[in-house]
């Protein structure tokens, strides 16, 4: 995966783009292309729609780049644009889902009772590198309801902090933590007893902070 430039290098690329060097924009966003697509598909669940939303997000980021003030990481700003573009595309394509996605019913963040309380760890990084296990994991993530799927993808797959995830989704940090914990529990129960033992089931409750 391409490595993003340093903060200073990123700021210089932004300055160059805003100064009229359009070709510098490709260098600026290239390290985040995969992140943009993964964010879009976590919302849209359709590769073609995700590609369209990613392109729309890139275009909007280019046209709005002068408004970026550096109050957050550039990647956070870029992924927030992508998330919003994907949600708008979802509304346009499936307006009947507008209420169920954006106006969650009472109880959506209600208690979730796991099958047991074994190990609340994030997704193991090596799991994402093995094809069969990655497919099983992708299917399990895809089965989650949107609020849980989106926070899990941003926090555990993309590696955003709780604060950054809160910024992207427009949800309070306590709610992000709650959704993340429940998403991990639901994901683990779907995959139990684990992927080739990657997530070991344990007899005793082990309190692990999930953020």
Q: What is the pLDDT of residue 138?
A: 83
Q: What is the pLDDT of residue 160?
A: 94
Q: What is the pLDDT of residue 147?
A: 92
Q: Considering only the C-alpha atoms of the chain, give the largest distance between any 2 of them, rounded to a whole number of Å.
A: 61
Q: What is the pLDDT of residue 209?
A: 37
Ordered by start, the domain boundaries in the chain are 7-101, 104-191
Q: What is the pLDDT of residue 116?
A: 44
Rg (CA), the chain: 18
CATH number (3.30.200.20, 3.40.50.300, 3.40.309.10, 1.10.10.10) of 104-191 reads 1.10.10.10
Token reading at 11? 């700021």
Distance of CA 67 to the CA centre of its chain: 23
Of the candidates 74, 44, 47, the one whose C-alpha atom is nearest the C-alpha of residue 61 is: 74
Distances (CA, A) of 16 to 62, 79, 185: 12, 21, 45
Q: What is the pLDDT of residue 194?
A: 53
Instruction: Tell me if the pTM is above 0.85.
Output: no
Topology of the domain covering 7-101? Rna Polymerase Sigma Factor; Chain: A (1.10.1740)
C-alpha span between 71 and 171 (Å, rounded): 18
C-alpha span between 119 and 131 (Å, rounded): 23
Sign of the Cα pseudo-torsion (121, 124, 128, 134, in order) = negative
User: By 3-state DSSP, what share of the chain in percent is helix, strand and coil, each rounded to 5?
Assistant: 65, 0, 35
Distance of CA 17 to the CA centre of its chain: 26
Are residues 152 and 184 in contact, defined by beta-carbon separation less than 8 angstroms?
yes
Rounded mean pLDDT for each run of 10 residues along the chain, 211 residues in total? 68 93 93 93 92 94 92 93 94 59 45 44 52 76 92 92 95 94 88 52 35 42
Residue with tokens 């490709």: 26
C-alpha span between 81 and 211 (Å, rounded): 24
Q: What is the pLDDT of residue 177?
A: 93
How many helices (H) and strands (E) the chain has is answered by 10, 0
């Amino acid at each position: 995966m391409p490595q993003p430039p340093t903060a200073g290098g990123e700021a210089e690329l932004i300055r160059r783009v805003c100064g009229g060097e359009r070709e510098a924009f490709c260098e600026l966003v290239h390290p985040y292309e995969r992140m943009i697509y993964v964010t879009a598909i976590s919302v849209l669940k359709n590769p073609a729609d995700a590609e369209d939303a990613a392109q729309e997000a890139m275009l909007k980021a280019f046209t709005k780049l002068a408004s970026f003030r550096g109050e957050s990481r550039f990647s956070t700003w870029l992924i927030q644009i992508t998330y919003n573009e994907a949600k708008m595309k979802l509304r346009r394509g499936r307006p009947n889902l507008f209420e169920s996605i954006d106006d969650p019913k009472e109880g959506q963040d209600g208690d979730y009772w796991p099958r047991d309380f074994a190990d609340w760890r994030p997704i193991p990084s090596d799991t994402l590198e093995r094809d069969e296990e990655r497919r099983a994991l992708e299917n399990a993530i895809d089965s989650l309801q949107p609020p849980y799927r989106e926070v899990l993808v941003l926090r555990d797959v993309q590696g955003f902090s709780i604060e950054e995830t809160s910024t992207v989704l427009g949800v309070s940090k306590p709610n992000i933590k709650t959704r993340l914990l429940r998403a991990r529990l639901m994901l683990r129960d779907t995959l139990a007893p684990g992927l080739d033992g990657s997530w070991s089931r344990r007899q005793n409750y082990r309190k692990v902070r999930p953020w």
